């Protein structure tokens, strides 16, 4: 680290400030120098971070794909189950079943039927 003394001269007129009195102003600035090793490490660091982010994203999308597939499979399974139940329900309510049911066989034919117009 090195420091450097810089002198400024202000030509601006301002009766109420130090500038106005044409005083010399001094600022001490610190200058950092980055060496090649440091730059290389930083560059590698950035690349590594980006690579991790990239890998994370890729893994994340793959995970989503698997989750999606699992949900799809679950959905297909539920649809198949619903289909089975619906088919069984249709079978139970078929005309043949209904006519052979205990209730139907205990019914009798009415003696006469009259219908209103």
Report the C-alpha gap between 30 and 36 in whole angstroms.
20
Q: According to the binding rule CB under 8 A, does residue 105 interact with other proteins?
A: no
Applying CB under 8 A, which part among 9-17, 22-30, 44-52, 95-103 lies near other proteins? 95-103
Q: According to the binding rule CB under 8 A, does residue 83 interact with other proteins?
A: yes
Report the C-alpha gap between 63 and 58 in whole angstroms.
9
Return the exposure string of 68-83: e unless at least 16 CB atoms fall within 10 Å of the residue's CB, then b: eeeeeeeeeeeeeeee
Q: According to the binding rule CB under 8 A, does residue 95 interact with other proteins?
A: yes
Q: Which of residues 23-82 bind other proteins (CB under 8 A)?
A: 61-62, 64-66, 68-69, 76-77, 80-81
Task: Please select the residue that binds other proteins; options are 94, 100, 101, 104, rule is CB under 8 A.
Answer: 94
Consecutive H or E run containing 28? strand 25-31
Other C-beta atoms lying within 10 Å of the C-beta of residue 19: 16
Where do contacts with other proteins occur on this chain (CB under 8 A)? 61-62, 64-66, 68-69, 76-77, 80-81, 83-84, 86-87, 90-91, 93-96, 99, 113, 115-117
């Amino acid at each position: 680290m090195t420091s450097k003394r810089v002198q400024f001269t202000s030509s601006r007129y301002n009766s109420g400030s130090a500038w106005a009195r044409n005083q010399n102003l001094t600022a001490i600035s610190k200058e950092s120098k980055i060496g090649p090793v440091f730059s290389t490490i930083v560059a590698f660091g950035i690349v590594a971070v980006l690579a991790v982010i990239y890998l994370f994203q890729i893994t994340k999308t793959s995970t989503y794909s698997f989750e999606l597939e699992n949900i799809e499979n679950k959905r297909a399974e539920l649809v198949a189950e619903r289909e089975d139940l619906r088919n069984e329900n249709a079978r139970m309510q078929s005309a043949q079943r209904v006519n052979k049911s205990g209730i139907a066989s205990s019914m009798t034919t009415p003696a006469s039927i009259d219908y209103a117009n």
